Amino acid sequence: MGVGWFCVWAVLASVEAGVGPGGAVKERGVLGRPLSKAEALNVAVACNGRLLQARKEVEAAAGVSVQVRAIVLPQVLQHGEYRARQDALVEANRNREPSVFEVDLPGLGFAEVQGPVPPHVNNQAWGGDIRIVQSVYEGGRMRSAVRSSRLIREQALLVFQSTVADVLLAVGIAYDDVLSTGKQVEVRRASVDLLSEYVRVAKAKAAAGAVTEFEVLREEVELANAEAALVQAVGTHRVAKQLFVELLGQDLGPHVSDDLSLKLTSRLEARPYPRRLSEALGSALARRTELAALEKEERIREENIIVAKAGGKPSVQAFAGYEVTSRVQSRNAGDALHGGFVGGQVSWPLFDGFLTQGRVKEAVALRGKAGEARAETARVVELQVRTAWSDLRTARAVLEAQTKNVGKAVRALELVQMRYDEGAAVQVEVLSAQTALTDARTTLVQGLRDHSVARARLLRATGEDLRFAADAGRLDGNEREAKAP
């Protein structure tokens, strides 16, 4: 997984480097300039909407990771309070009559003397403190939080890596679709040009009385059919270009034509896949990020069991701080008491109405579900590899057959044309040979596309796609066309 992790961080870095404020692409647009497959992948990495959303998911997971780990770190809390009460609520302030007492005066006897009026008792109170609270024991939750925090981050990156692989596969297929539909337009246009020449020659011969009107009409019908096929191929090519540009995350204004101007420089070729099926299956089980993400999910669920069981265990916290408070007998705000304090607190739910038991059962069930999901995904991954391998074999066989068939079709058309010019062949034979050549060329182009797509899907199924994408420059080298194994 080392190369895969490197690709994840490379993707994140390229997103930062390729996108400016407001999501604007720093590089030029893709319309009207040469664009290789490697460059298309880079543009998609920087601008594809799905990848931009996935990147935000990674950032959100980082926030969740911080929240989970917060129980391990100390908390700094500040508290302040001010309160004022009516004198009616202060008993000493309700009865403030001066005290009377007797005084023995020499020669005069006893006399009553009135004492001073008692002062108002303070009816206002204020205070504040700042304290540090540190969890000491939480029933295993603290160590579990450290592990869960790391697992959450790792799982988020694995999910992001899977999204990157899906997007790169979609962009690569869309690139091949644009190339193949463009080649189909060329094949159909060549057919129209050739049939147009046949119609011109047939009309000239008909004017000279060498052929009948039927032969001219037959040529014109074939030309009309070829022109209809050309129109359909052009429309398919237009749609393929629009889908490709959308995957690149490019915004098209209303002034842009539906026939986009793209200059794709990479070739549509068949590249080999140099591994056996057993090796491909082993690579898939070792490399697929979906399986790794589900393995992280299992471990997270195991940590959740620990957290659930901690609900029935004691919670021990220590605290220390500094407090400032007003005096009881003074209304002077500046006359305050202050000093430090230290202590601890323990809470232990002796009976919580079976709440903890229910949470443990839920966590255990979810852990089992995660294990089943991983096993099922492994079977799906194996099926994907086998299906992609079979598709690649089929595409290779079709490509080999059609590569030879096109040459034969060209030669057959040349021979029947010579025979027709000599009067030894009829018009239907010429038209049949021309149709066979067009079909052979069309099938060859489709075979090239299917082989490229099958290889890309196999790389995706085996988890090797990001490794090949990291060396995407190789896709545009002057490699000679090679046949798949």
User: Mean pLDDT over residues 215-222, rounded?
Assistant: 85
User: Mean pLDDT over residues 348-373, rounded?
Assistant: 93
Gap between the Cα atoms of 384 and 141, Å rounded = 40
Count CB-CB contacts under 10 A for residue 78: 9
pLDDT of residue 252: 81
Gap between the Cα atoms of 79 and 436, Å rounded = 88
The pLDDT tens digits for 390-435 are 999 999 998 888 888 888 888 888 888 787 777 776 667 777 888 8
Average pLDDT over the chain reads: 82
User: Mean pLDDT over residues 59-78, rounded?
Assistant: 94
pLDDT at residue 190 above 50?
yes
pLDDT at residue 380 above 70?
yes
Gap between the Cα atoms of 11 and 164, Å rounded = 8
User: Mean pLDDT over residues 84-101, rounded?
Assistant: 66
Gap between the Cα atoms of 441 and 180, Å rounded = 11
φ, ψ (nearest 5 deg) of residue 202 = -65, -40
Gap between the Cα atoms of 283 and 471, Å rounded = 18
Sequence letter at residue 273:
Y
Higher pLDDT, 133 or 92: 133
pLDDT at residue 15 above 90?
no
Higher pLDDT, 400 or 148: 148
User: Mean pLDDT over residues 123-138, rounded?
Assistant: 89
User: Mean pLDDT over residues 188-201, rounded?
Assistant: 86
Element (H, E) at 308: helix 289-310
Structure tokens at 309: 């069981």
The pLDDT tens digits for 233-286 are 999 999 999 999 999 988 887 888 888 888 888 888 888 888 899 999 999 999
- Local structure of residue 120 (DSSP, 8 states): P
Structure tokens at 154: 């790792």
Assign a CATH topology to domain 2-17+30-81+140-313+354-476. Answer: Outer membrane efflux proteins (OEP) (1.20.1600)
Gap between the Cα atoms of 179 and 449, Å rounded = 8
The pLDDT tens digits for 431-448 are 788 888 888 888 888 889
The pLDDT tens digits for 444-484 are 888 899 999 999 999 999 988 755 444 443 433 333 333 33
User: Mean pLDDT over residues 134-146, rounded?
Assistant: 93
Gap between the Cα atoms of 437 and 112, Å rounded = 137
Give the Cα-Cα-Cα angle 323, 324, 328 (nearest 5 degrees). Answer: 125
Give the Cα-Cα-Cα angle 74, 78, 79 (nearest 5 degrees). Answer: 135
Sequence letter at residue 191:
S
Gap between the Cα atoms of 483 and 69, Å rounded = 53
pLDDT at residue 382 above 70?
yes
Segments making up each domain of the chain, as ranges? 2-17+30-81+140-313+354-476
Q: Which of 25-39, 56-70, 327-341 has the highest mean pLDDT?
A: 56-70
pLDDT band at 374 (very low <50, low <70, confident <90, very high): very high
pLDDT of residue 230: 92
Closest-CA residue to 269 (of 179, 362, 359, 150): 179
The pLDDT tens digits for 283-301 are 999 999 999 999 999 999 9
